[in-house]
């Protein structure tokens, strides 16, 4: 039997036209007429009336991306009957009507599949390098197993969440998907990137967020401290420090990054559950050892 889907969308209420287009593309999916639970969460924002089939939750404050997703997951659990969680950005769009059918078929066919990463491309079909979850000169049109997934469009088997836990709400923004991915991999699940699962999304610069550099650095340290075997923690942090310097960010950005790095070092973010060395070896075979 094919799994049932539940959709979670976060919004701050500032993209009404894009949100309406996304919800229309969800309603147009093959099989949607049989019921796809859709939860829309306003992150500290009052939302205008939505279609009757959308379950609206207005959070009293902005919980950040992982905290907001967790609230959506809990709402789906309350509603019941969801086997697979689908997360979509509120300014995204599903240009194909068979995306949900492909998601259902993929999870039904493979009980070891834990996460599906969507391909993200702009309206011209271009995929930014940062949206391909592989190292090197990665082809966005090549599907296959990966070690992380994309926040703007992905699907997770709910039993994986039950086993490994929710997204790390403390992160607020940046690296929350990698934190979840490493836990899922260590539990034995597979993560697949699928080029045919397309989320159309405007081309953006992550540094548009004022706290991007600080949170990226802080959360990178927390990620390593939470999940890497002790000998790999300094290697991972040294590698990413070198990558950051080589990218030559503006001086103000580098100061913010350094402050975030220091914050991550001096503050805890429990629990610490180092991944097994067999998981390190598996990630290395997949082309992305966890020191990079």
Helix residue ranges per DSSP H, 165-201: 176-186
Please say if the pLDDT value at position 28 is more than 80.
Answer: yes
Mean pLDDT, to the nearest integer, of 139-166? 97
Question: 1 falls in which pLDDT band (50, 70, 90)?
Answer: confident
Please say if the pLDDT value at position 69 is more than 90.
Answer: yes
Give the span between the Cα atoms of 101 and 84, in whole angstroms.
12
Q: Is 187 helix (H, G, I), strand (E, B) or coil?
A: coil
Give the DSSP per-residue string, 34-71.
G--EEEEEEES-------TTEEEEEESS--HHHHHHHH
Give the span between the Cα atoms of 288 and 130, in whole angstroms.
14
Per-residue pLDDT, 206 = 72
Query: What is the percent of the chain with per-residue pLDDT over 90, rounded to a whole number?
Result: 91
Average pLDDT, the chain: 95
Please say if the pLDDT value at position 209 is more than 70.
Answer: no
Give the DSSP per-residue string, 232-267.
HHHHHHHHHHHHHHHT---HHHHHHHHHHHHHHHHS
Neighbouring-strand partners of residue 88: 9, 153
Neighbouring-strand partners of residue 118: 194
Per-residue pLDDT, 36 = 87
Mean pLDDT, to the nearest integer, of 273-287? 97
Among 170, 154, 150, 290, which Cα is nearest to 234's?
A: 290
Provide the CA 215 distance to its chain's centre, in angstroms. 16
Per-residue pLDDT, 80 = 92
Per-residue pLDDT, 207 = 64
Please say if the pLDDT value at position 2 is more than 90.
Answer: no
Mean pLDDT, to the nearest integer, of 45-74? 97
Per-residue pLDDT, 77 = 97
Torsion of CA 61, 71, 98, 12, to 10 degrees: 0
Rg (CA), the chain: 19
Question: 210 falls in which pLDDT band (50, 70, 90)?
Answer: low
Per-residue pLDDT, 136 = 77
Please say if the pLDDT value at position 108 is more than 90.
Answer: yes
Please say if the pLDDT value at position 208 is more than 90.
Answer: no
Mean pLDDT, to the nearest integer, of 75-83? 96
């Amino acid at each position: 039997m094919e799994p049932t889907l539940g959709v979670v969308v976060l919004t701050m209420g500032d993209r009404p036209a894009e949100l309406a287009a996304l919800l229309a593309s969800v309603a147009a999916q093959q099989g949607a007429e049989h019921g796809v639970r859709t939860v829309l969460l306003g992150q500290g924002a009052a939302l205008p009336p939505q279609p009757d089939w959308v379950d609206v939750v207005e959070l009293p404050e902005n919980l950040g991306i992982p905290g907001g997703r967790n609230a959506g997951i809990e709402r789906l659990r309350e509603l019941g009957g969801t086997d697979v969680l689908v997360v979509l950005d509120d300014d995204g769009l599903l240009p194909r009507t068979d995306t949900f059918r492909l998601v259902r078929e993929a999870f039904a066919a493979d009980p070891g599949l834990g996460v599906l990463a969507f391909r993200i491309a702009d309206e011209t079909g271009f995929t930014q390098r940062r949206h391909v979850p592989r190292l090197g000169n990665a082809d966005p049109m090549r599907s296959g197993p990966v070690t992380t997934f994309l926040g703007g469009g992905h699907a997770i088997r709910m039993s994986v969440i039950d086993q490994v836990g929710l997204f790390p709400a403390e992160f607020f923004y940046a690296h929350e998907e990698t934190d979840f991915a490493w836990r899922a991999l260590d539990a034995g699940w597979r993560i697949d990137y699928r080029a045919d699962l397309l989320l159309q999304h405007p081309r953006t610069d992550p540094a548009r967020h004022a706290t991007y550099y600080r949170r990226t650095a802080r959360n990178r340290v927390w990620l390593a401290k939470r999940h890497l075997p002790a000998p790999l923690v300094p290697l991972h942090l040294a590698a990413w420090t070198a990558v950051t310097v080589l990218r030559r960010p503006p001086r103000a950005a580098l100061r913010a990054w350094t402050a975030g790095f220091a914050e991550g070092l001096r503050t805890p973010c429990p629990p610490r559950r180092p991944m097994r060395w067999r998981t390190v070896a598996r990630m290395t075979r997949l082309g992305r050892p966890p020191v990079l």
